[in-house]
Structure 1
Amino acid sequence: MFVIVSNPLRGLVRNPALPAAALVRLAGDDRISRWDLTARRAWTDEAFDTLAAHPDPEVREALAQSPGATGEQRARLAGDLSIRVLQAVLEGPPTRWAGPLPGRVHRRLAEHPEPLVRDLLTYLPGTPRDVVALLARDRHPGIADAARALLDRKPYQPASLGRDQAVLFASGGSDWNRERAATDPALPAEWITTLAADPSPRVRLAVSTRPELTEAQRAAIDYPVLPADATPALDWVLAAGPAELDRCVRSAHPVLRRSAACHPDLPADLLAALTADPDPAVRALLCSHQAHVPGELVLDTYLATGDEDLLRHPAFSGTGLARLADDPSPEARALVALDPAAPPELIDRLSRDPSTAVRRAMATDPRLPQPRLLELLDDPPTAEAAAANPALPARVITRLLADAGIR
């Protein structure tokens, strides 16, 4: 039998009403992880600055990658003495939709006295081109060389094996080598024809995605359709201009359309075309890479995939989600708590939902009547969520801390 272990402390550290002094005390408690400590959906400046001054670099490292922190808040850690913290600042939170760091952070770190810090800027994403140009004149030869290579590199330009090596790979017994050769721009035409009938499905799939093939030629290849996470975006599609990108969007080949959904400069008309794509993977990738997709598509994709990162998407809106209160899906009903116009009586009703996930979602809502909130706090499956509710009375927060032996 599965037993839910209640840990209200994990909820308390996410509670915006928790006093800063208590937050510091919890930061040193081994009953919660560093990532629990920094899992808030949003940070006040006071709470962020309190943890930013914490003596434990692991706490500051986790804070630097908190999804709820703004770029301006994370920038305050750019003067940290720990290289791991600085690396976390540059890597950013594990969400595509985190606020960007201000440009001054990269410029400041490009002048850092420690070469390891300056080197981070040459391989971590997000370094502005003008900062890379500055690093190309760095006094450390290795950093300067890496920066110059970065400046010379064209976006999404795949390296070629060369004709002889491509033929050697294509004629070998390794499926991996033949798959690599199948996408190489230097592979002779006769070998493309040969690999199009290769016994390995992965090799045939690789051949079918070559940019020079016509739709008829692609259709003639017996290639498999793999899950989206097993087929990375094609470099040549990501670098495609308008006409070629249009061809990819209209293609019958799902990998071309999936890659087009990830294009950094997808025009509005092609975005609209992919919004109605029959392939769920295309629509999911569109929501993961494009900021201007329709909000309803983001909602539908979240309900289909459960990808919580989509709830941070700029097109996602809580407005109107109260309409999902009677939806058969508990994942949909749980979203009612994100609707700013949902009435307290609806939140109260859903806090009694048969689904534990729905009750937990409602337990965090400050509109919940206080008596019901305290009931949920005493119920192990919902205690942690209720402890994160900003409407939790101060006396109850004090009691929870005392019960946990935190003074």
Structure 2
Amino acid sequence: MNHILCGLAANPALPSELVDRLITVADDEIAAELAARPDLSHAQALALAARAEGTAVHLAYEGRLTSADIDPAAQPRAALALLDTGAGLPEWARRFATDPVIERREKLAACPDLPPDVTDTLAADSEIAVVAELALWTTPDMAARLARHPHAEVRRAVAANEATPPAVLEMLLTGDGLPPARRCLVCDRERTPAAHAPPHPHPADDLPPGAFCTGSHESTVHDMWRQALSNPATPARAAAGFAGHSSALLRWSLAGRPDLPPEVWGRLADDPLPGIRGDVAENPAVDATHLRALATDVSPDVRRSLAHNPRVPLDLLTSLAGTAKIGATLLPQIAAATPTEVESLAKSPDPAVRMLLAARRDLPPGTRDALAADTDAKVLKSIAPHPGLSEARLRDMIDRHGVRVLARVATNPDASPSLLEHVARHDPPVPKAFREVARHRNATAPALLACLTDRQARPMAAAHPSLPVPVIVELLGDAEGRVAEAAAANPSLPPAMMLKLTP
């Protein structure tokens, strides 16, 4: 990998004529950087696409190429990318529907708005992977048709397709109205049905762990049920019947659904698995009665999930603050708190509650400044990035709590150049603070020079446009490739040096 040329390719100040020169020598890494340039012209995109089909695929997905730019015979992957975005031609779809390369037919099967004759061809494909991919993305009518496919793998894909009609999804769960599947991926590999107990994976490398079949395609049917239970189009009445199933994976698939009756929530809220209870706790459709019951759950993970529920009552949330180890995260209920509730939260005697409020970035100036004067370090860490805080208040935080708040102060968007220099010179130094300073828009040359002493902050400082030009040039020869690449990508690199570095 040529780090210098990769950095130049990403440099926003690179002149267009040097972009042209890099295109002529671009390998995959350089081409990837060039393809991401917002100033790439159509002519340059065409030249770049001609060098590597992987790059052409990227440019197609980004809308930088059209159907007039691609020959499907020469660049089939790029043509398929255009079909995937809806910008390809119908005749391309017909061409790929019978392509001898299975992967191309499989990719085509996932494309939207295919002509009916193409979907018919794909539905009759001899490769189950192609038909299953079609089943996963196809229209309601075709999904209903493929639900009767004799292969269980196709039915599993139909169960995951959110366009599948609800009545069909219910049939996949109950089996009513559908002929039994005759094959699955496991028994495709056996002359006669053979048992492979779930703890023992089938020896075929391309089968999922635990795949087994005794003639009823058990593991595939189980996964089909799981997909259907997770599908929001599946009727709640059909899904609810699985709340007491012996399979934890099937019960878990229900926990995030918003349409189950209260008695099902109650059953899932008492599930022995904390992961299931946690998903119930975070589900905004669960009623307040069950949410309050979950607030006393023995698992801190469940209580933490409950705190993230946008419908958890505020009084319940504040009771969780000290025990659920939530951290300085902006929770939905805190973000939605009214001015009266904000005032009450700010005066809470519990610093964990004040910390949660401090994660907001739209607090009234008086509330913001009061929290910035808090005596608890975790409250200060949470409020430190809030816009509008004065330099004096931010310095006071550092004076009172030092290394505990230093990095968070450096993330404040209004941190002044002098304050960032103060952070960078702090003794003892804080590595994370160096990284925050190095990426800050207000960082000055002295602050960035200090950041160069930290290994992780060094590449960020090397890319900062405020770094002195002689230092940028010197870093082009750095032994660490990431640092040299960052220096080459620095927009303050002189054009003459860019020209010198370009082949």
TM-score band w.r.t. shorter chain: 0.5 to 0.7
Residue 274 (structure 2) pairs with residue 174 (structure 1): no
Residue 454 (structure 2) pairs with residue 355 (structure 1): yes
1:239-278 superposed matches below 5 A: 252=320, 261=331, 267=336, 269=338, 278=352
CA distance in 2, matches of 1:161, 1:258: 38
> Residue by residue, what CA displacement relative to the aligned partner does 1:171-197 show, whole Å, maximum 9, x if unpaired?
3221112233455644562x6555444
Give 2:463's aligned residue: 364
Unaligned runs of 5+ in 2: 71-77, 94-107, 115-137, 144-161, 167-229, 362-381, 388-403, 405-410
Give 1:132's aligned residue: none
Residue 298 (structure 2) pairs with residue 222 (structure 1): yes
Give 2:278's aligned residue: 205
Give 2:489's aligned residue: 388
CA distance in 2, matches of 1:83, 1:324: 52
Aligned to 1:54, the other structure's residue is in SS state helix
Residue 111 (structure 2) pairs with residue 37 (structure 1): no
Give 1:336's aligned residue: 437
Give 1:52's aligned residue: 45
CA distance in 2, matches of 1:63, 1:113: 17
Q: Is the 8 A contact 1:324 1:335 kept in 2?
A: no
- Residue identity in the other structure for 1:383: A
1:128-139 superposed matches below 5 A: none
**How many Å apart are 1:332 and its aligned residue?**
2.6
CA distance in 2, matches of 1:329, 1:20: 40
Residue 95 (structure 2) pairs with residue 22 (structure 1): no
- Residue identity in the other structure for 1:359: R
- Residue identity in the other structure for 1:329: V
> Residue by residue, what CA displacement relative to the aligned partner does 1:268-319 show, whole Å, maximum 9, x if unpaired?
749979x99959xx89x989xxxxx989159xxxxx9xxxxxx9xxx96676
- Pick the structure with greater CA Rg: 2
Residue 411 (structure 2) pairs with residue 324 (structure 1): no
CA distance in 2, matches of 1:335, 1:260: 20
CA distance in 2, matches of 1:216, 1:232: 9
CA distance in 2, matches of 1:86, 1:233: 43
Residues 250, 16 of structure 1: alpha-carbon distance in 2 compared, 3 angstrom cutoff:
same
Q: Is the 8 A contact 2:7 2:486 kept in 1?
A: yes
- Residue identity in the other structure for 2:240: A
CA distance in 2, matches of 1:14, 1:337: 19
- Residue identity in the other structure for 2:6: R
Give 1:399's aligned residue: 500
Q: Is the 8 A contact 2:424 2:434 kept in 1?
A: yes
Residues 368, 227 of structure 1: alpha-carbon distance in 2 compared, 3 angstrom cutoff:
farther
**How many Å apart are 1:64 and its aligned residue?**
7.1
- Residue identity in the other structure for 1:325: A
- Residue identity in the other structure for 2:287: E
If asked which structure has higher relative contact order (CA below 8 Å, sep 6+), I would say 1
CA distance in 2, matches of 1:397, 1:183: 53
Residues 193, 255 of structure 1: alpha-carbon distance in 2 compared, 3 angstrom cutoff:
farther
Q: Is the 8 A contact 1:319 1:340 kept in 2?
A: no
> Residue by residue, what CA displacement relative to the aligned partner does 1:300-356 show, whole Å, maximum 9, x if unpaired?
xxxx9xxxxxx9xxx966765555323533343234345554443444x326x3212
Q: Is the 8 A contact 1:24 1:51 kept in 2?
A: yes
Give 2:475's aligned residue: 376
Residues 9, 76 of structure 1: alpha-carbon distance in 2 compared, 3 angstrom cutoff:
closer
Aligned pair partner of 1:10 in 2, 6, 28: 6
Residues 222, 370 of structure 1: alpha-carbon distance in 2 compared, 3 angstrom cutoff:
closer
Aligned to 2:275, the other structure's residue is in SS state helix
- What's the TM-score, normalizing by structure 2? 0.45
Q: Is the 8 A contact 2:11 2:490 kept in 1?
A: yes
Residues 391, 212 of structure 1: alpha-carbon distance in 2 compared, 3 angstrom cutoff:
closer
Give 2:221's aligned residue: none
Residues 324, 256 of structure 1: alpha-carbon distance in 2 compared, 3 angstrom cutoff:
closer
Identity of paired residues, percent? 26
Q: Is the 8 A contact 2:262 2:287 kept in 1?
A: no
Give 1:95's aligned residue: none
**How many Å apart are 1:12 and its aligned residue?**
1.4
> Residue by residue, what CA displacement relative to the aligned partner does 1:218-254 show, whole Å, maximum 9, x if unpaired?
22443450799xx7999xx67x7xxx78789768497
Q: Is the 8 A contact 1:330 1:355 kept in 2?
A: yes
CA distance in 2, matches of 1:188, 1:226: 19
- What's the TM-score, normalizing by structure 1? 0.53
CA distance in 1, matches of 2:44, 2:319: 51
Give 1:301's aligned residue: none
Unaligned runs of 5+ in 1: 66-73, 91-108, 121-140, 288-292, 299-303, 305-310
1:185-196 superposed matches below 5 A: 185-186=259-260, 189=263, 192-196=265-269
Aligned to 1:357, the other structure's residue is in SS state coil
**How many Å apart are 1:385 and its aligned residue?**
1.9
Give 1:296's aligned residue: 385
Aligned to 1:171, the other structure's residue is in SS state coil
Residues 260, 375 of structure 1: alpha-carbon distance in 2 compared, 3 angstrom cutoff:
closer
CA distance in 1, matches of 2:438, 2:455: 14
Residues 195, 223 of structure 1: alpha-carbon distance in 2 compared, 3 angstrom cutoff:
farther
Q: How many residues align?
A: 309
- Residue identity in the other structure for 2:47: H
